[in-house]
Amino acid sequence: MTNAVLLLECPDRKGLVAAIMNFLVAEYDANILHAGQHQDAELGRFFMRVEFECAESLLRERIFHERFNRIASEYQMRWQLAEPSKRLRVCLFVSQHLHCLADLLQRHEAGELDCDIPLIIGNHRDGERLATFYGVPFHYTPIQSGNKHLIEAQQMQLLREHNIDLVVLARYMQILSTSFVESWKTQIINVHHSFLPAFIGPKPYHAAFKRGVKLIGATSHYVTADLDEGPIIDQDVTRVTQGDTIPDLVRKGRDLERVVLSRAVIWHLEHRILHYENKTVIFD
């Protein structure tokens, strides 16, 4: 027996849950482990995640795909099947701020991130020592004026060579080109402070301090061609007071960045996210 996760989206209508469950149990002799669903009443869309176990041979021989396509066609489903036993391969991108990189590597070492990390890519060498400590190969790809397209080509070649399933921008301070993003559509996760678009520029915490904000936050999201406007995966906030200095804001903000980025990566690895329009559905 093996476990699998079915994720699907389709127009909402009566009989959907019954049809899906009858298929899994009656035709597949599957044991349902967990099921979650969501309806978007405004758009008339239905979303579902089903975790189940069944005979391994049925998945390996793609019998499931052939049989389930009949139901998917009838109900106009967009669907995907994932096997949790098949570990995703993740590449971490980093620049000079190392807090998110350190957090992800430590979580991976502790077994919280069920994936393989075959390489780390950095446009600065700051993350190389951390990569070496955790035994992950580090690839230095410096970006200078006029060579960005060549460096991105080199980076994409590395991703292909290592069969990467997910790219995580662990405070990678470069804007990815449209061609890069399109090549890894819905496979790139980024994190940034939640001040956007209120406090743009290189020193958002300084600007927020000057404005006297009472809340600061962080956001993790999928990367799209529209800068920092991809589907949001997770957000969190914390209070600040008049007694907090700029270094206090930076420290608190970085703590939030670690948390929301790691949660987003874990949910992606566990196949808990469905994205539609410019939104996400996160299943428990």
Give the pLDDT of residue 45. 95
- The whole-number pLDDT of residue 274 equals 95
The single residue of 116, 126, 228, 244 carrying the catalytic annotation is: 228
Do 64 and 118 lie in one domain? The reply is no
- Does 135 lie in the same domain as 229? yes
Q: Are residues 163 and 235 in the same domain?
A: yes
Answer yes or no: do 236 and 259 share one domain. Answer: yes
Shared domain check, 116 and 234? yes
- Per the structure, the complete domain to which residue 180 belongs is given by 88-282
At which of 42, 58, 82 does a domain end?
82
Is 103 one of the annotated active-site residues of the chain?
Answer: no
pTM for the complete prediction?
0.93
Whether residue 271 sits in one domain with residue 160: yes
| CATH code assigned at 144 | 3.40.50.170
Same domain, 212 and 109: yes
Return the exposure string of 136-154: e unless at least 16 CB atoms fall within 10 Å of the residue's CB, then b. bebeebebeeeebeebbee
42 and 173 inside one domain: no
Looking at 82, 111, 141, the residue that finishes a domain is 82
Q: What local confidence, expressed as pLDDT, does residue 185 receive?
A: 86
What pLDDT score was predicted for residue 196? 67
Same domain? For 159 and 246 the reply is yes
- In this structure, the answer to whether residues 44 and 97 fall within a common structural domain is no
Same domain, 33 and 107: no
Residue after which a domain boundary falls, among 60, 82, 104 = 82
Domains held by the chain: number: 2
Dist CA 37 CA 20 (whole Å): 12
Question: What was the pLDDT predicted at 116?
Answer: 97
pLDDT in tens, the chain (284 residues): 889 999 999 999 999 999 999 999 988 889 999 999 999 999 999 999 999 998 888 777 677 888 899 899 999 999 999 987 789 999 999 999 999 999 999 999 999 999 999 999 999 999 999 999 999 999 999 998 889 999 999 999 999 999 999 999 999 999 999 999 999 988 999 998 887 667 877 788 888 899 999 999 999 999 998 877 889 999 999 999 999 999 999 999 999 999 999 999 999 999 999 999 889 999 99
Q: Are residues 74 and 168 in the same domain?
A: no
Q: State residue 61's pLDDT score.
A: 65
Q: What CATH number does the domain containing 29 carry? A: 3.30.70.260
